[in-house]
């Protein structure tokens, strides 16, 4: 759906993208996570041909739209009709109402009149702006503006939704509703690529996460695999009982005698198999085993450190 290869974007003296590669597959909800200034907006703007990278390759819907420092404008225009985009900093027309705003955008997409009204009503309902449909946008809160921007992005019923920090400025209820809309898009077979610097925004709703740090992709995997990988590095505390002295020596492991034939083993890696073998060979007994999984927050912080 979207493939980016070795993208480089240099702004004067800032190397915002430093050989970034990533792939968004059809039907995925891909969370593009990274701290402020990591290069998320630069990636999105490059993908849409709104800024010019210097090197690399971009493919959308299997069509090569950028290569060797040049966009193929014809192809870009064609594929962009199938994309919905919600920018991070967008200007809305303050003197228009949501209905008038969406009407104008629908005209830009040449949506037939008969379809237009129905589509606008559905979208206002979807993003929760039905009651504010005829109010001037100038009076809207940040959250209401975000909702209208999302409705704009959906007007052409896009196959691929690209959202730049869509949940910033939303309250917890708004975030939950946004996540629901994203889930509904996925159910309808759409692909969603959205950026965030807040892990909690991507955690429940994405099936794949890409972490960008200083213009490079540090990690791209499913949340499930990321957790699995880091579970290997989880901390284990095991209490064993044995009438033989424990002389178990291994790296990243410490054994403390607690008296009364009890020993505490603390390991900073997955030692479950070793423990099993040890206990079986020594006729010992495992009394308790505690695993301290790192939270995704800790994993993310470690990556961006």
Ligand X SMILES: Nc1ncnc2c1ncn2[C@@H]1O[C@H](COP(=O)(O)OP(=O)(O)OP(=O)(O)O)[C@@H](O)[C@H]1O
**Residues forming the site for ligand X (CB under 6 A):** 11-12, 14, 16, 34, 36-42, 88, 197
User: Nearer to ligand X by C-beta: 98 or 215?
Assistant: 215
User: Nearer to ligand X by C-beta: 36 or 134?
Assistant: 36
User: Nearer to ligand X by C-beta: 89 or 110?
Assistant: 89
| Distance of closest approach, residue 67 Cβ to ligand X, in angstroms | 21
| Distance of closest approach, residue 225 Cβ to ligand X, in angstroms | 24
Query: Cα torsion at 105, 114, 78, 63 (round to 10°)?
Result: 110
| Distance of closest approach, residue 41 Cβ to ligand X, in angstroms | 3
| Distance of closest approach, residue 39 Cβ to ligand X, in angstroms | 4
User: Nearer to ligand X by C-beta: 155 or 206?
Assistant: 206
| Distance of closest approach, residue 35 Cβ to ligand X, in angstroms | 7
User: Nearer to ligand X by C-beta: 36 or 281?
Assistant: 36
| Distance of closest approach, residue 91 Cβ to ligand X, in angstroms | 16
User: Nearer to ligand X by C-beta: 66 or 236?
Assistant: 66
């Amino acid at each position: 759906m979207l493939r980016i290869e070795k993208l480089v974007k240099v702004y004067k003296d800032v190397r915002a993208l430093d050989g970034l590669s990533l792939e968004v597959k059809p039907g995925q909800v891909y969370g593009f996570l990274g701290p402020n200034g990591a290069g998320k907006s630069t990636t999105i703007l490059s993908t849409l041909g709104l800024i010019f990278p210097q090197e690399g390759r971009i493919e959308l819907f299997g069509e090569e739209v950028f290569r060797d420092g040049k966009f193929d404008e014809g192809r870009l225009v064609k594929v962009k009709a199938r994309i919905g985009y919600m920018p991070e900093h967008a200007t809305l027309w303050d003197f228009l109402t949501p209905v008038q705003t969406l009407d104008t955008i629908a005209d830009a997409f040449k949506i037939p009149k008969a379809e237009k009204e129905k589509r606008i009503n559905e979208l206002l309902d979807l993003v929760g702006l039905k009651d504010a449909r005829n109010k001037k946008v100038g009076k809207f809160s940040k959250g209401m503006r975000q909702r209208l921007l999302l409705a704009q992005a959906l007007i052409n019923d896009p196959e691929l939704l690209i959202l730049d920090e869509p949940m910033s400025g939303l309250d917890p209820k708004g975030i939950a509703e946004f996540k629901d809309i994203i889930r509904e898009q996925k159910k309808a077979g759409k692909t969603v690529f959205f950026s965030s610097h807040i892990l909690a925004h991507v955690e429940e709703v994405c099936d794949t996460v890409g972490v960008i740090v200083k213009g490079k992709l540090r990690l791209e995997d499913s949340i499930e695999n990321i957790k699995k990988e880091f579970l290997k590095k989880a901390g284990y505390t095991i209490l064993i009982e044995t009438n033989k002295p424990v002389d178990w020596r291994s790296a990243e492991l410490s054994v403390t005698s607690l008296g009364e034939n009890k020993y505490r083993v603390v390991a900073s890696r997955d030692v479950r198999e070793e423990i099993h073998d040890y206990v079986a060979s020594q006729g010992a007994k495992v009394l308790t085993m505690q695993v301290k999984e790192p939270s995704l927050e800790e994993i993310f912080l470690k990556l961006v450190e």
